[in-house]
């Protein structure tokens, strides 16, 4: 990631922490994360349309997803920086980024990326 994006992410993270104050509500998979995946990813990654062999339409599918039989899961609970789910939405490398640049769909906003990051940091629960 380049310095500019890294800086933006830090800023956004700080303001998100402040907005939540001391009362840190845990991120919910069903209420917060799932709608983001549904809106931006499920078009190409469902049980029916598994592009790259990836399905993201439910907690079970997300947690069991593997890209082209790689052993590492997409979500490593507690470790967003090594979670493929975060890497592909956050990277500035257009060839790696999801949704694909060629699809004409917009990259995820910082807010959405932070929601996913925090959910993984908090242990990636089916909550």
Residue ranges that bind ligand HEC, judged by CB under 6 A: 40-41, 43-45, 51-52, 54, 56, 67, 74, 84-85, 88-89, 96, 98-100, 103, 105, 108
State in angstroms the smallest separation of the CB of 25 from ligand HEC.
23
Return the number of the residue (14 or 43) whose C-beta is nearest ligand HEC: 43
State in angstroms the smallest separation of the CB of 42 from ligand HEC.
8
State in angstroms the smallest separation of the CB of 41 from ligand HEC.
3
Return the number of the residue (45 or 118) whose C-beta is nearest ligand HEC: 45
Query: Tell me, what DSSP letter sits at residue 42?
Result: T
Helices (H), the chain: 3-20, 34-40, 59-64, 84-90, 110-121
Structure tokens at 61: 């599918």
Return the number of the residue (78 or 109) whose C-beta is nearest ligand HEC: 109
Query: Tell me, what DSSP letter sits at residue 68?
Result: T
State in angstroms the smallest separation of the CB of 74 from ligand HEC.
5
Return the number of the residue (80 or 99) whose C-beta is nearest ligand HEC: 99
Q: How far apart are CA 65 and CA 84, in angstroms?
A: 10
**Cβ atoms < 10 Å from Cβ of 11:** 11
The backbone region for 74, taken as left when phi is positive above 0, alpha when psi lies in -120 to 50, beta otherwise, is alpha
């Amino acid at each position: 990631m380049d310095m500019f994006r890294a800086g933006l992410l830090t800023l956004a993270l700080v303001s998100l922490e402040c907005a939540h104050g001391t009362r840190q509500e845990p991120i919910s998979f069903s209420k917060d994360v799932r709608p983001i995946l549904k809106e931006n990813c499920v078009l190409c990654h469902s049980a029916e349309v598994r592009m790259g062999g990836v399905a993201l339409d439910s907690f079970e599918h997300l947690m069991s997803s593997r890209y082209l039989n790689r052993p590492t899961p997409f979500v490593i609970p507690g470790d967003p920086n090594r979670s493929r789910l975060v890497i592909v939405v956050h990277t500035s490398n257009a060839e790696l980024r999801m949704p694909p640049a060629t699809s004409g769909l917009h990259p995820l906003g910082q807010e959405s990326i932070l929601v996913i990051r925090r959910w993984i940091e908090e242990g990636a629960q089916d909550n």
